[in-house]
Amino acid sequence: MTTHLVWLRNDLRINDNSALWAACRARHARVIALFIATPQQWHQHNMAPRQAEYIWRSLQQLQQSLTEKGIALHYHQCDDFTASVSYLQDFCHEQQVDALFYNYQYEFNERERDAAVERRLTEQGVTVQGFDDSVLLPPGSVRTGNNEAYKVFTPFSKAYRKRLRAGLPECLSAPQARAETPLTTLLPLSPFDYPRESFDEQLFPVGEAAALQRLRAFCRQPVLDYPAQRDYPALEGTSRLSVCLATGTLSPRQCLHRLLREQPQALEEGQASVWLNELIWRDFYRHLLVAFPKLCKNQPFAAWTKKLAWQQRPEQFDAWCQGKTGYPIVDAAMRQLNATGWMHNRLRMIAASFLIKDLQIDWRLGERYFMSVLIDGDLAANNGGWQWSASTGTDAVPWFRIFNPTTQGERFDAQGEFIRRWLPELAAVPDKVIHHPHDWAKKNHQRLDYPLPIVEHKAAREQTLAIFEAARQASSVISPE
């Protein structure tokens, strides 16, 4: 009997799983699945313990779903990608696998691993098929008129929407059961040899069914409110589907098709199109990883920014990590991140800008810290966001535009509702002065158990402008007027 193997990674679902669907097309083939945990590699890539726990919990649910389809899920743990390649080769020999099916990952190390797998298994006589599954359109399929990768998001988005209007990517159903009766025995699925950290299942429900339920609910009405509410962290104005997309309990095609089913006008201009743009941003960063592999190697996209004179300020970095900078909106954001493993997107920009433009600390330290804590950690999106904030990326905020953390707080959390949720020590501070708590305390002879600002924004801004200008001059780049 022909044996087909599905190699699962960040695609923990049975619906709209390209590799799984392809493996099951041959009705009489024996289909098995395999997940290989690589804790040592995860440590190197700064995977958050919460994300590892979420993956393990989702894997348990996926195992049950596959078992009901007559597909056994095998599990193995080894140190790193090199060991996983050898194990996969041995496993295919042991199980007499004729064909391997897997969905692409676009990070550099993962692509190197997959290329090694393809070489070894092809030599072994195994047919290998890979699929573009975690994107709406494959990397390299949306290019400029000069056949180059887009480096700016707005024209990329316009070209992307045009492609989608010409024809939507197919959303695949779950495969049919492989036998009349499901399997009754589950193979052992041990916890990962990785630090364990719990997470709030009300915020991040586990598994494919929960992801689909949340997607349907969001696309009915909240997606229409999204443009007006998405920047206000005190509101539940975002989808919170990022962890589902990062781990693959949900596909971007499922998001697109459900959005268009509920809001048919979303491909055009309008309220629903704003959330669609976020899905396109997600793909933009993946396309960039493939076109410019240096983004996976701690390199800025803009070469001149290698000349930036980042400051060594470990105490200030620790204060930022702990949410003790003396800037309420920054501190509330960091405490939300540390407590939940998630941060509101507007706050990600504010917190990143503060680390880079107020403290002049290397953006790569912040990027790594976020990855080590985020339950929805995703290299492409995280790197893209940090390089945007640092003005080092392809589509970055101009280097001379610097967020003022106080005015950002006043604009997006005017009454301090979000701030008080995470900074209880400011509970007594009146709404109108919540963003200047020490001024209020001094005037009213109050003592606050809250740190003074670790930097003065106006002075820091001038220092940052000088640092960036010096880097541009050192790189013989003409600065803007």
Active-site residue identified among 7, 21, 42, 281? 281
Active-site residue identified among 345, 410, 417, 469? 345
DSSP-assigned states of every residue in 300-357: -SSGGGGG------HHHHHHHHHT-SS-HHHHHHHHHHHHHS---HHHHHHHHHIIII
Q: Is 310 a catalytic residue?
A: yes
479 is in an annotated binding site: no
Q: Is 388 a catalytic residue?
A: no
242 is in an annotated binding site: yes
Active-site residue identified among 109, 310, 417, 469? 310
38 is in an annotated binding site: no
144 is in an annotated binding site: no
Could you give the dihedral angle defined by the CA atoms of residues 397, 402, 408 and 409, in that order, rounded to the nearest 10 degrees? 130
C-alpha closest to that of 253 among 62, 58, 24, 16: 16
56 is in an annotated binding site: no
Q: Is 42 a catalytic residue?
A: no
d(CA 183, CA 441) in angstroms, rounded, equals: 66
d(CA 479, CA 163) in angstroms, rounded, equals: 36
Contact 328, 434 (CB under 8 A): yes
d(CA 50, CA 80) in angstroms, rounded, equals: 19
164 is in an annotated binding site: no
Q: Is 363 a catalytic residue?
A: yes
Number of H helices and E strands in the chain, helices first, is 20, 5
Helix (H, G, I), strand (E, B) or coil at 184: coil
400 is in an annotated binding site: no
As beta bridge partners, residue 128 has 100
Active-site residue identified among 112, 278, 417, 469? 278
241 is in an annotated binding site: yes
Contact 52, 42 (CB under 8 A): yes
Active-site residue identified among 7, 320, 342, 386? 386
Q: Is 386 a catalytic residue?
A: yes
231 is in an annotated binding site: no
218 is in an annotated binding site: no
Kindly report the number of other CB atoms within 10 A of residue 109's CB atom.
16
Active-site residue identified among 7, 42, 363, 388? 363
280 is in an annotated binding site: yes
238 is in an annotated binding site: yes
Q: Is 481 a catalytic residue?
A: no
102 is in an annotated binding site: no
275 is in an annotated binding site: yes
Residues annotated as catalytic (active site), given as ranges:
278, 281, 310, 345, 363, 386
Q: Give the residue numbers of the binding site for FAD.
A: 226, 238-242, 275, 278-285, 376-378
Annotated binding-site residue numbers: 226, 238-242, 275, 278-285, 376-378
